[in-house]
Amino acid sequence: MNNTLKKTIVSSIDNSLSPFVQLKNINLTDCQWTSGFWAEKFKTCEEVMVPYMGEVLCGDIGHALNNFKIAAGEKEGEHKGMFWHDGDFYKFIEAKIYVYAQNKNSKILEEIDNYINIISKAQEADGYLQTQIQLRPEVDRYENRKYHEMYNTGHLLITACVHYRVTGQRNFLDIAIKHATLLHTIFMPETKHYGRFGFNQTQIMGLVELYRTTDDKKYLELAERFINNRGKYAVEHTDTTIGYPIGDMVQERTPLRESSEAVGHAVLALYYYAGAADVASETGEKELIDALDRLWINVTQKKMYLTGAVGQAHYGASTNLDMIEEGFINEYMMPNMTAYNETCANICNAMFSYRMLGLHGESKYADIMELVLYNSALSGISIKGDSYFYANPLRMLNNTRDYHAHENVTETPNREPYLSCFCCPPNLVRTIAQVSGWTYSIAKNGIAINLFGSSVLKTKLADESSLIMHQDTEYPWKGLVKLTIEECKETAFDIMIRIPSWAIDSKIMVNGSETNVAVTAGKYATINRIWKKGDTVVLDMPMEIQIIEGHPRIEEIRNQIAVKRGPIVYCIESPDLPKHTNILEVYFDKKQPLVAKHQPDFLGGVTTLEGKLLVRKDKSESMYRTVQTPEFETYKTQLVPYFAWSNRGQAEMTVFMPVVWE
């Protein structure tokens, strides 16, 4: 066992020594929220989201800690929850570690140590640790990939690395090392039985983080082995695959390096691509990076919703006609009402982009991170922070469907206080807890501003020089961002500011004067100069209300529009419509202006868009009818941010509306 560990940074992705990245991550503790949107979200995370989730998962409803206690011999009972419940518990611990990293509340650390103590007792002598198998005597280890051992492993490794990075303690890390050593023994040799293992491959990300923490190359080699194995074996059902669709569903029909289309289960795909991007950050392999570039373009330009959400269908088929669950279907096939858009998949889209941002240093990747964060990630949790959506469709109708008729319902009309498939909630909460880390990156000679939020940054540039910089903004509601240098080195360096792709005609002022720096939407504006204390940079982004239409090939939204302002996608929701109005009767009137209005006491403090919409009066129940001239009534109402919908009781909602042009 390696006892001298590398210096690490506090991040889920420690690419500080990765040789093939352009932008390196900061310690998430280097950026401290001061006020505004993310400061408030973090506060809710700290005060409600994490404590509430702890009560659920450590109690009898969630039963996640119970599973470990039973495996540890400290409690009687049986395994409850999905096969991936251990992994979801690790994600919750990860969220808790990020909160501790930022508030240093020692009680949190004690609670985490208590979990680790129980987890350690549950681990078998040879390192194996999977309560869903240990508590099922009828199932053998690594018998079938559907038992999600690789997924649980991935989250164990990531959480243990993050715990070590924050606390310097080895109690969790040593469990992870012992576990990964066993994994290496079993999966490194080429065997047909294990060749197609890896169902939801977070172990690739986990192994790379363990390599980054321990400097032990065998973990990186194993991570690469899992990529190399994919697509190598015949796609046919065997003992190890029965129980779930095969082929494109699990990205095993086409080897990754030959792929140009994102296929299959959206979470599986994007965790896989994210892991491959981690490997590429260490190896610099061009073939792998080229494939990831193609896949990123395919996801974000052919298969992504306006909200940054992905995974169009609960059940469907890939282009090759393989059966797909919870995943990608054909390009441009974008249903609104039945869109699956699992919260995890949306977050994974941002996680993949975060890694691509590191690899290429281009701001378009941070655009996607931001789009997801403000829309299809945050929609997964209530404003209060204690109920969850699993699916995030762009339209919801009230209907007579019995959502509880199905055992493991994932598409619900309201956010639920607990989901029996609990992958999304801790994934979202750990993401909200670490947004501060995503906000800045370290460039070759300077700092990149990826996201906007009032904060103080105290970090070290690549040459170890100290940088203290304040960011003041009321983003995402206002487009003004002010940076003020408090401390920096005496030689010139870059301040790179992301100009979002929607922020056309943005302006940058340095110390009150215009600069000759190129300010182009969709790129970083890079200002290189000798900076000194008191210097200011002001970015002014025009917060125009934008009316958005889709590519003509998206049949589902032909002649429909959506409304966006800055990074925020808006929707219309039934509490803002006349009683008994069906959401399908609402039309957008292109001639009527919308006006932004900030409402600090509404839905946690949001900017709404006020204006007049049209409600169609000539209703019909028949499936088809002869066209009449429609009759409309004008209705004064408001649009609310999509992420904030469904916080006022059960509602109908739509993002896209048919448009009346004149």
Q: Which residues of this chain interact with Zn ion, rule CB under 5 A? A: 342, 344, 423-424
**Cβ nearer to Zn ion, comparing 219 with 328:** 328
Which helix (H) or strand (E) is 117 found in, with range?
helix 106-122
Q: How far is the CB of 142 from Zn ion (least distance, A)?
A: 23
Phi and psi at residue 632, to the nearest 5°: -120, 150
User: Is 284 strand, coil or helix?
Assistant: coil
**Which helix H or strand E contains 22, and what residues bound it?**
none
State the virtual CA torsion across 263, 264, 267, 271 in degrees, nearest 10. Answer: -50
Q: Which residue is nearest to Zn ion, using beta carbons?
A: 344
442, amino acid identity: I
CB 340 within 8 A of CB 399: no
The structure tokens listed for 612 are 């007049």
User: What distance lies between CA 442 and its chain's CA centroid?
Assistant: 21
Quick one: 128 or 352, whose CB is closer to Zn ion?
352
Residue with tokens 């190399």: 228
Nearest-approach distance from CB 423 to Zn ion, in angstroms: 3
3-state secondary structure 411-475: CCCCCECCCCCCCHHHHHHHHHHCHHHHHEEEECCEEEECCCCCEEEEEECCCCCEEEEEEEECC
Cis peptide before 630 (omega within 30 of 0): no
Q: Which two tokens stand for residue 219?
A: 């973990």
Q: How far is the CB of 202 from Zn ion (least distance, A)?
A: 12
CA 476 to chain centre: 18
Comparing C-alpha atoms, which of 288, 228, 217 is closest to residue 259? 288
Task: Give the Cα separation of 58 and 189 in Å (integer).
Answer: 38
CB of 422 to Zn ion, least distance (A): 8
Q: How far is the CB of 380 from Zn ion (least distance, A)?
A: 9
Nearer to Zn ion, 324 or 543 (CB): 324
d(CA 435, CA 40): 12
Nearer to Zn ion (CB atom), residue 12 or residue 607 = 12
Kindly state the smallest distance separating residue 152's Cβ from Zn ion, in Å. Answer: 14
Minimum Å gap between C-beta 424 and Zn ion is 3
Min CB(267)–Zn ion separation in Å: 6
Which lies closer to Zn ion via its Cβ, residue 382 or residue 439?
Answer: 382
Closest approach, Cβ 637 to Zn ion, in A, equals 33
In eight-state DSSP terms, residue 46 is I
Q: Are 330 and 339 in contact (CB under 8 A)?
A: no
Query: How far apart are CB 430 and Zn ion at their closest, in Å?
Result: 12
**Based on CB atoms, which residue is closest to Zn ion, 97 or 423?**
423
Cα–Cα nearest to 599, from 569, 635, 571, 638? 638
Q: How far is the CB of 461 from Zn ion (least distance, A)?
A: 37
Answer yes or no: are the C-beta atoms of 425 and 53 closer than 8 Å. yes
Q: Residue 271 or residue 588: which is nearer to Zn ion going by CB?
A: 271
Q: 309 with 330: CB under 8 angstroms?
A: no
| Shorter beta-carbon distance to Zn ion: residue 342 or 589 | 342
Give the span between the Cα atoms of 612 and 543, in whole angstroms: 20
Nearer to Zn ion, 49 or 495 (CB): 49
Picking from 155, 145, 121, 126, the residue whose alpha carbon sits closest to that of residue 194 is: 145
- Indicate the residue among 36 and 87 with the shorter CB distance to Zn ion: 87
Nearer to Zn ion, 344 or 554 (CB): 344
